[in-house]
Structure 1
Amino acid sequence: MEMSESIETRLDRMESRFAIHELVSNYCHGFDKRDWDRFIGIWWENATWEIGPPFGNFEGHEGISHVTRDILWDAWLASSHFTTNLVLTFDSDDSASGICDVDCIGTTSDGVAQTISATYRDDYERRSGIWKILRRRVAMHHFSPLPGVTLSPPE
């Protein structure tokens, strides 16, 4: 953000940063709490979610619904995502890209504690004043069991 930009432009960028940061957080909350409306609300209808191996790539709300409800939520008994290091670049007033790191810990449906580390590369678009994810590319660093660890709620 340059000081030579108008106050309106600078304010718009600040508000946009907050809105996009909320999208990144709502991904975690929506997925982990199985809050479908919150989760699908972050994606444009024509969004692409490129999870990559072993899951694949998914197009639009229909594809995102399929992978989330039929594959991923069935695969996880519980999960907790933590995103960090979000860096945003504005390509125009209504287009931005971002990169953040994610760690996830959870228990898969077979009862095994797992840890995942990945990087998300996102394209965001604002339509009619609303920011959403247009494309998310996932680069997995590890997806590993935690031998001998049982994740359970406190008694």
Structure 2
Amino acid sequence: MSIDELQAKIDRLESRQAIEDLASTYCHGFDKRDEARFLSIWWEDCVWAIGPPFGDFAGHAGILSALHDVLWPAWGMSQHITSNQVVEFTDPDHATACCDVDCTGLLSGSPNATFVGATYTDQVERRGGLWKIRRRDVVIHYFNSFEGDTLSKPE
């Protein structure tokens, strides 16, 4: 194996770890209400496509609006757990990352636990040596709640 091949393999391993860390940083930032940590994983020109019932959000301003105006007010508390992470590179600086997520939490105003299962599919890019999310598409598979609980934007 040549030194160039070895360097490419090391770069791929380091890149894969950095991309997988984005999913964990997302969870910690969201669940601990750490705005700076959460925002650190997104490129300024990002799109966070959550879909119904919340909508899609673009750029850092959109991300902050999603957090402060929609999601954090809807969830009194949450805990995300990600699994089944798969990273596929299209070139050294672009990849698609996919993971499944289980989120347990309390909707605002409810004492009952709720359970959400979803898949996150990310388009990630390395710019200036840093990996961040350019686009995240969210597919919600199930939302299990107790009678009277609904997953919706706060009024």
TM-score between both structures, scaled by the size of structure 1: 0.90
Letter of the aligned partner of 1:110 in structure 2? G
Letter of the aligned partner of 1:21 in structure 2? E
Structure 1: state its 5+ residue gaps.
148-155
| Structure 2 match to 1:142 | 142
Quote how far apart the aligned CAs of 1:93 are. Answer: 0.7
Quote how far apart the aligned CAs of 1:144 are. Answer: 1.9
Asked if the contact 1:32–1:78 (Cα under 8 Å) also holds between the matched residues in 2, the reply is yes
Distance 1:116 1:146 in 2: 12
Runs ≥4 residues deviating over 4 A? none
| Structure 1 match to 2:130 | 130
Q: Deviations over 1:41-96 (max 9, x none)?
A: 00000000000001111111011110111110011111000000000000111000
| Structure 1 match to 2:152 | none
| Structure 2 match to 1:19 | 18
Letter of the aligned partner of 1:64 in structure 2? I
Distance 2:57 2:76 in 1: 22
| Structure 1 match to 2:89 | 90
Q: 1:1-150 alignment to 2 at 5 Å?
A: 6-111=5-110, 112-146=112-146
Distance 2:146 2:43 in 1: 35
Letter of the aligned partner of 2:108 in structure 1? S
Asked if the contact 1:115–1:146 (Cα under 8 Å) also holds between the matched residues in 2, the reply is no
Distance 1:144 1:110 in 2: 16
Letter of the aligned partner of 2:138 in structure 1? V
Aligned length: 146
| Structure 1 match to 2:150 | none
Q: What SS does the corresponding residue of 1:6 show, helix, strand or coil?
A: helix
TM-score between both structures, scaled by the size of structure 2: 0.90
Quote how far apart the aligned CAs of 1:146 are. Answer: 4.0
Cα RMSD of the aligned pairs, angstroms, is 1.6
Distance 1:31 1:146 in 2: 23
Q: What SS does the corresponding residue of 2:46 show, helix, strand or coil?
A: strand
Q: What SS does the corresponding residue of 1:110 show, helix, strand or coil?
A: coil
Q: Deviations over 1:7-60 (max 9, x none)?
A: 010000000011111111000000000011100000000000000001111111
